[in-house]
Structure 1
Amino acid sequence: MSQVTRRIVRELHDEPHLEGRRITVQFIKEQVEERGLDPRTVADRHDLDVADVYRALTYYHDHPEEMRTIERQQQSAIEKHDHLTTDPDDVRD
Structure 2
Amino acid sequence: MSTTVRIVKTPDVLHGKPRIEGTRVGVFQIGTLVREREWSVEDAAAQFDIDVSQIQAAVEYYDEHPELMETLQAQEEARQQAMQAESRCADLK
Determine if the TM-score, normalized by the shorter chain, exceeds 0.5: yes
- Could you tell me which residue of structure 1 aligns to residue 86 of structure 2? 84
Identity of aligned residues (%): 35
- Could you tell me which residue of structure 1 aligns to residue 9 of structure 2? 10
Q: Deviation at 1:66?
A: 1.0
| 1:53-64 pair list within 5 angstroms | 53-64=55-66
What is the letter of the counterpart of residue 6 of structure 2? R
Report the RMSD for the aligned CA atoms in angstroms. 1.9
- When normalised by structure 2's length, the TM-score is 0.76
- When normalised by structure 1's length, the TM-score is 0.76
Deviation >4 Å, runs of 4+: none
Structure 1 residues without counterparts, runs of 5 or longer:
none
Where is the helix percentage greater, Structure 1 or Structure 2? 2
Once residues 69 and 39 of structure 2 are traced to their aligned partners in structure 1, the CA distance between those partners, rounded to angstroms, is 20
| 1:1-93 pair list within 5 angstroms | 6-11=5-10, 12-85=14-87
CA contact (8 A) 1:39 1:53 kept: yes
Q: Deviation at 1:5?
A: 5.2
What is the letter of the counterpart of residue 85 of structure 1? S
How many residues are treated as equivalent by the alignment? 84
Once residues 62 and 48 of structure 2 are traced to their aligned partners in structure 1, the CA distance between those partners, rounded to angstroms, is 18
Task: Give the SS at the match of 2:18.
Answer: strand
